[in-house]
Amino acid sequence: MQLIHLLPILPFIHAAPSNPPLRGSPDLLGYSSSYTLPSQAPDIKFTLVPGQKDDVDDGVYLDFEDADNPQPIRGDRGGTDPGPSMVCSVQIDQTDSDRDPGNEYYDRINSDKLAPPGTDSGQTINAQWPMENAGWARQENTNVMPDATLMAGVDMRLEPGAYRELHWHVAAEWSLVLNGSCRIQAVNENGETFIDDVKEGDVWFFPPGVPHSIQALDPGVEFLLVFDDGDFSEDNTFLASEVFAHNPKSVLAKNFGIPITAFENLPKDALYIFPGTPAPKDIEEQNVSTAAGPIPRAQSYSYHFSEQPAHEVAGGSVKIVDPATFPIASNFSAAVVTVKPGGMREIHWHPSSDEWTFFIRGQGRATLFSAPSTATTFDYRAGDVGYFPRSNSHYIENTGDEDLMFLEVLQAESFTDIALGQWLASTSRQIVADTLKLSDEALDKLKTEKQFVVAG
């Protein structure tokens, strides 16, 4: 694999020597021969229900009511789902004839909708969507969250060896690997090629129109895709199989300079996701060289975010990836935030962008405040999507007994926010006292530095 010169060292936000900075190093860009991938598949225990392996076109009803860890499998399609998933430890009282069990279950996991805090007022946009319930691959866009106009998301799982078919999009694609590993390949408009292996915690980006493919390695892969268009739909992807299906075979033969008989076995339908020959372990075997050469490493389509240590704060940790360290994703800025039990992502807002949030692990809640006096509190579980419009304040509180982890994505050149606490602490003490009637003791506790995550 030909390696290209590294980016010049960029300025970072510095922390104490013992605490990693918020941003990582350019060394994490692109391919590295020393990079290691996971070798063991997750242990997923489940039981198939009657009819689940019947032909997919039969479409028989599948009763998951009493299933042991139901999985998104039908016939020869789909695959296991190692998470994230919605989890609820309560049991539904089937003897309660006054309530629908499904509604009661929904109420139990969305307590702030059933009994909202007194600070809630009116109704904001709907800022919560359970990605877990939208199918596999699962999708969120303006069809289900009409006000989430800036970004859309897809949660996708590939079994070992399976492909996400050769394709491209009109929208830009930013991705975080949720678990497992995969091999990604692309070629840009200059004919420069790209290939890399990525694993849980890594990030990739493909600009609009750049064709690419994804193949799962052992032990399979699940990844989150974020697109820079809230109307984006996976159904509108340009697929290689469809390009061939909708051009005359005589034209294809002329285009490639090969006999028309070469196209007799083309797929009759779009492949989308399909099983394939396992990728060779040595990535060099699939590294195609062209006269244009590889994509310069400074413009790499991957960033090994998993290798970047998190910046520790009192209530958890934060790490950021944005164009300062991942230049090709010129308008995508993101943070992975971990909140310890009882802790909270401090009250903040983003002046430069809406925030698209994906909950990776745990459970939490957030109050979305919209001017002048509208507020709604939402409850979230792993697999949910949150959406907070530009300059609308919000927090995210851990309401569970395990770490809460989520991804914040902005359409911005840098990951920035304004923290309510820092604003007040950096404003004349008398102005704050006159406005909010806070005591001297309370004013003394305000901090001039961002906390990011506060402890419980």
**Annotation: binding site:** 167, 169, 173, 212, 348, 350, 355, 394
Rounded Cα gap, residues 331 and 346, in angstroms? 24
User: In this structure, are residues 410 and 358 in contact, taking their beta carbons and an 8 Å threshold?
Assistant: no
Annotated active-site residue 408? The verdict is yes
Catalytic option among 189, 408, 413, 449: 408
CB-side neighbour CA atoms (13 Å) of 382:
18
CA dihedral (344, 348, 350, 354) positive or negative? positive
Helix ranges restricted to H, 50-160: 101-109, 111-114
Nearest to 292 by CA among 72, 2, 42: 2
Name the residue type at position 235: D
Rounded Cα gap, residues 123 and 238, in angstroms? 38
Rounded Cα gap, residues 73 and 50, in angstroms? 12
CA dihedral (258, 195, 302, 130) positive or negative? positive
Rounded Cα gap, residues 397 and 385, in angstroms? 15
Annotation: binding site for Mn(2+): 167, 169, 173, 212, 348, 350, 355, 394
- Torsions phi, psi for 214 (to 5 deg): -135, 125
Rounded Cα gap, residues 206 and 214, in angstroms? 12
- Torsions phi, psi for 177 (to 5 deg): -75, 120
Rounded Cα gap, residues 230 and 145, in angstroms? 9
- 318 forms beta bridges with 311, 337
User: In this structure, are residues 406 and 346 in contact, taking their beta carbons and an 8 Å threshold?
Assistant: no
Q: What angle do CA 86, 92, 94 make, to 5 degrees?
A: 145
Helix ranges restricted to H, 115-246: 240-245
Rounded Cα gap, residues 299 and 6, in angstroms? 10
Calculate the alpha carbon distances from 451 to 421, 423, 447 in Å: 8, 12, 8
Calculate the alpha carbon distances from 81 to 84, 140, 153, 227 in Å: 8, 18, 17, 22
Instruction: Check residue 329 and give left, alpha or beta (phi > 0: left; psi -120 to 50: alpha).
Output: beta
Q: Which residues contact 427 (CB under 8 A, 6 or more apart)?
A: none
Name the residue type at position 388: F
- Catalytic residue list: 408
